Structure 1
Amino acid sequence: MTTNKTPYSLIGGEQTILGLVDRFYFYMDTLPEAQGIREMHQANLASAKDKLFKFLSGWLGGPNLFIEEFGNPMLRARHFPFTIGESERDQWLLCMNKALAEMTMDLQLRTTIQNALQQLATHMINQEPATKY
């Protein structure tokens, strides 16, 4: 019998992802360096936490909770109402990488997830970098 090892199962499934999301939003809520992206969110982060958890669940190879509830993620389109430049991407990655660093997982798997999230976050950029003269 072959078992399909997904990042979801390798990192510990639902409980680990819930912990990751909690830590991500803790950092976003408390780090001065993340103030820019924190201001894009509602005061109550419950809805954002729920959506990120559901997205990451499917994105990491677990249950497709986000798709089941909201349809195709179309992340770039969903984020288009927000001004996202390199600074916002970097703030998001700072929080996510700090949260990932707290999760117990294989170093190679962590690096693979971080690289994939870096590409995903870069794809969300919808503003041109400021021109320097």
Structure 2
Amino acid sequence: MTAGRTFFDEIGGLPTIAKIVARFYEGVAADPVLGPMYPADDMAGASERLTLFLAQYWGGPTTYSERRGHPRLRMRHAPFAVTPEARDHWLACFRAGLDEVDLTPEQDAEFWEYVTRAADFMINAPA
């Protein structure tokens, strides 16, 4: 990254993150493991929340925290059985999202490393 620019800026900002998330949720909606975890009538809301969260995480606007407070990811996901299988499906959907955008190999690796760690952290149920 160059001085004064965040990872958010370097990857193309909100349009890039929105494209990743849109592709991700296309996969989620069709996924037999993940689809039932998401309320069908709130996919747009879930998509917006993830977009805003990722934008903030990577150095973009703080809209997510302004609207929802601290992310508290584990608490927000506690009602759902996040198994290793669910994690794998989630990561497959996210990989498809990352593959939709034109990141450098280094940017892709950094983004992938974060989502992989986050997905592992969210596991709260055995297989």
TM bucket normalised to smaller: over 0.9
If you compute each CA radius of gyration, which structure gives the higher value, 1 or 2? 1
State the TM-score, normalizing by the size of structure 1. Answer: 0.88
State the TM-score, normalizing by the size of structure 2. Answer: 0.92
Q: Deviations over 1:83-121 (max 9, x none)?
A: 001011111100001110111111111011101110001
Aligned equivalent of 1:29: 29
Q: 1:40 aligns with which of 37, 40, 45?
A: 37
8 Å CA contact retained: 2:22, 2:47 = yes
Unaligned runs of 5+ in 1: none
Q: Deviations over 1:45-93 (max 9, x none)?
A: 1111111111111011111211110000010011001000101111110
CA distance in structure 2 between the partners assigned to 1:47 and 1:102 by the alignment: 21
Structure 1 counterpart SS, 2:19: helix
State the structure with bigger RCO (CA 8 A, min sep 6), 1 or 2. Answer: 2
Q: 1:77 aligns with which of 75, 78, 85?
A: 75
- Matched-pair identity in %: 33
Unaligned runs of 5+ in 2: none
Deviant stretches of 4+, over 2 Å: 2-5
Report deviation, 1:128: 2.6
